[in-house]
Structure 1
Amino acid sequence: MASSKQTKGFLFGAIAGGIIGSVTALLFAPKAGKELRHDISEGARRVQEQTVRAAGQVSDTTVRIAKQIGNQATELADTARAAAGAAVSTVKQRRAELAESVEEVTDEVTDTFEEAAEEVFEDAKQLQTIN
């Protein structure tokens, strides 16, 4: 942003300096009126050409910078998209692993509970037969 302001300031300063310098040189030069008017118009034409050339360079630079920014933004978006996809994939994988672990623990607890219940039931049967 500051570079754009500096470029504009330099461009306006160069144009103003060119115009003032040309007019000053022409006005203080000892020439006839017709010759002076021709020199003034020639100087104005040169300043106009320089202005057009400078504007073209500024335009080209602006287009180039805009393309670079666009390309960088696209690359950044692609990188962010890939990172988000990787994160989602990792979360899904972790969720599946946790679900599998929970299922294994649940099965172990169920088996242990069933075994304990059978032992209690058998112990209860033995107690009934004893009594």
Structure 2
Amino acid sequence: MAENRNGNTAVLGALMLVAGGIIGAGVALLFAPKTGKETREDLGRYATKTRRRAEEVVDDLSSSISEMVDKVGEKASELLDSGKDAAGTARESLLKAIDEGQEKLEKQRSRLAKLFSKE
């Protein structure tokens, strides 16, 4: 569970970083004394950088999700195996108890048969 929180925190941090960068660059462009051509060039460069960062974030996010899916699959498999083992153990215990009960029942039948045959 802690791994899930850490993964979510990392993703949230990365998204906040990208969002902060976008907002900061937008404010800087609006207040910078540049010509229209320079501003358009800056916007183009910034758009390219932002696209690259977004692709990196998406790659990181997909890697994190893939890792989480793998871990969940492993845990589910472990739990399934554990459940099978527990069910097998419970079955064996139940069969053993039934066998012991049958043995005791046979002993009691024998005792009763001896008691009634003496009379």
- If asked which structure has higher relative contact order (CA below 8 Å, sep 6+), I would say 2
C-alpha deviation, 1:63, in angstroms: 0.9
Which residue identity lines up with residue 49 of structure 1 in the other structure? R
From 59, 65, 69, the counterpart of 2:62: 59
On the 8 A contact 2:22/2:50 being kept in 1, the answer is yes
Number of aligned residue pairs: give it. 116
TM-score with structure 2 setting the length: 0.84
TM-score by length of 1: 0.77
Following superposition, the deviation at residue 43 of structure 1 comes to: 0.7
Structure 2 unaligned segments of length 5 or more: list them: none
Q: CA deviation at 1:26?
A: 2.2
Corresponding residue of 2:40: 37
Residues 1-131 of structure 1: matches in 2 within 5 Å? 3=5, 9-116=12-119
CA deviation after TM superposition for structure 1 residue 111, in Å:
1.5
State the superposition RMSD in angstroms: 2.2
CA distance in 2, matches of 1:100, 1:81: 28
Structure 2: distance between partners of 1:107 and 1:67: 60
Q: Percent identical across equivalent pairs?
A: 29
- Stretches of structure 1 that go unaligned for 5 or more consecutive residues are 117-131
Distance in 2 separating the partners of 1:27 and 1:76: 56
Mapped contact 1:19–1:44 kept (Cα < 8 A): no
Task: State the secondary structure of the residue aligned to 2:33.
Answer: coil
- Name the aligned partner's letter for residue 115 of structure 2: T
Higher radius of gyration, 1 or 2: 1
